[in-house]
Copies of this chain bind each other. A is one copy, B any other.
Amino acid sequence: MENAMILEKQYDELLQLLKDKKYGILHGRLSQMNASDISEFLEEYVPQDGLVLTFRLTQKDKGANAFAYLSSEIQEAIIKGISDREVGDLVNELYTDDAADMIEELPANVVKRVMRNVDSDTRDLINRFLQYPENSAGSIMTAEFVDLKKNMTVAESFARIRKIGEDKETLYTMYVVDGNRKLEGVIEARDLLLSDHSAVIDEIMHTNIISVNTHDDQEKVSELFSRYDLLAIPVVDMEQRLVGIVTVDDIIDVMEQEATEDFELMAAMTPSEKPYLKTGVFTLAKNRVLWLMLLMISATVTGSILLHYEEAFLVVPLLVALMPMLTDTGGNAGCQSSTLIIRGMAVGEIYPRDILLVLWKELRVSLLCGLALAAINFARVLVVYPGEVQVAFVVSIALVATVIMAKVVGCVLPIAAKVCKLDPAIMAAPLITTLVDAGALLLYFEIARIILKI
């Protein structure tokens, strides 16, 4: 990506300015940059002892934005290096959700110092945010939005936006609340921009409001964004009072995070909190080894099935040679179905009530796939092992049966998990493979026993 290379060159120049102590020029260059690029520069280029200095050289508001993107280690280093007053200014400038995220990761003594130096309002807000459950709407919302009253005119609304808008997360959706902060309506900047200046908010606001509760899961929030093409959604408490908003940029992060979690679960790993390159070797090993162990021990079942049919494969060793093809194909076929169903449920296209539809579809698909594979396989076995017609017959029949069984298991298990309120993503390739292996071998040797009469 050419973009990445231009940025790298730019970071190297900035670093040189820092080393040469050309702080004036560095300050000027930083003020031209995006907050997320500044954050990357701080995170990956600036040495530990230059962090505080570089951070001080960025403008206050942009510095706070860049700070929000930093990893908790670098955040901690900066917090420890700046003065009490700077800590207060910085945290007051942060959006509440970013401040709460930071505080969750800081050691207790640093948290105390932070809390001592912020406004009492900010402190209360942060404390409230810290109480929302992880991955709830409350934990990803911000408290910085523009509220209007329904008797205001458009002109008065513009004046209010101009007055309080500076440090709000969005100026594109405004929220109309009554005296008790109950949400009465929503109005978009678009409506204000296109309406007459004398129009009253009450007449132009939308009352058909899409909102979420502080305790709703972030996955529900992101489904609503994607379904209704929202830029922001209001978050209300149990009494329908407006307490915050979630904006689309946070939802993009949520969507990426949820998809990554599903990818990890589906590959039999405990999802990790940090990016791969920043996760330690022990954490990576821990996230993987338990699942591997569980699956390894379940494979004991397959082992005993095989020993049970020892006689069959001692008589016809070719049966063993064809075994991996059969179990792998079964695993692959099952994994195709489970992936489609898991993903379909994750994006809200398939619901548990569709189970009969799905089963009927998978049965027909598996019959088509199974027959095609069996035909090719029959020919292949005869070419590679000439004369082994009976074995070719056995393995081809077993193949059809295995593909059908695998696809049924692959579509039923994720739906069953969903019904049991488990994450369907755990019913993915690794578990399906283990189950299908056992089933495939049972089918295979039973068919062999009947046809080959062993």
Contacts and interface: CB of A to CB of B under 8 A. Distances in A.
Interface of A: 1, 3-4, 32-34, 36, 158, 161-162, 165-166, 171-172, 189-190, 193-194, 208, 210, 220, 224-229, 231, 248-249, 251-253, 255-256, 259-260, 262-264, 266-269, 275-277, 281-282, 284-285, 288-289, 291-293, 295-297, 299-300, 302-304, 306-307, 310, 313-314, 317-318, 320-325, 327-329, 331-333, 335-336, 338-344, 347, 349-351, 354, 357-358, 361, 364-365, 368-369, 372-373, 376-377, 380, 384, 403, 429-430, 433-434, 437, 441
A154 B358 CA distance: 56
B281 A339 contact: no
Nearest to A189: B189
Contacts of A321: 303-304, 306-307, 310
Given A324-B306, A336-B268, A368 B189 contact: no
B332 A291 contact: yes
A72 B285 CA distance: 47
A435 to B, nearest CB: 11
A350 B248 CA distance: 25
A234 to B, nearest CB: 15
B252 A373 contact: no
A34 to B, nearest CB: 6
Contact of A354 (B248, B277, B403): B277
10 contacts: A158-B193, A285-B365, A293-B372, A296-B328, A303-B322, A304-B384, A307-B321, A313-B317, A320-B320, A332-B430
The copy count of this chain in the complex is 2
A254 to B, nearest CB: 11
Contacts of A210: 34
A343 B194 CA distance: 43
Contact of A361 (B284, B340, B344): B284
B302 A325 contact: yes
A34 B228 CA distance: 8
Nearest to A281: B364
A31 B441 CA distance: 59
A243 B165 CA distance: 31
A36 B228 contact: yes
Contacts of A380: 297, 300
Given A314-B314, A321-B306, A36 B339 contact: no
Contacts of A293: 372-373, 376
Nearest to A286: B368
Nearest to A341: B276
A328 B161 contact: no
Contacts of A373: 289, 292-293, 296
A269 B162 CA distance: 53
A372 to B, nearest CB: 5
Given A268-B332, A268-B336, A310 B317 contact: yes
A189 B328 CA distance: 56
Given A189-B171, A284-B365, A336 B275 contact: no
B171 A193 contact: yes
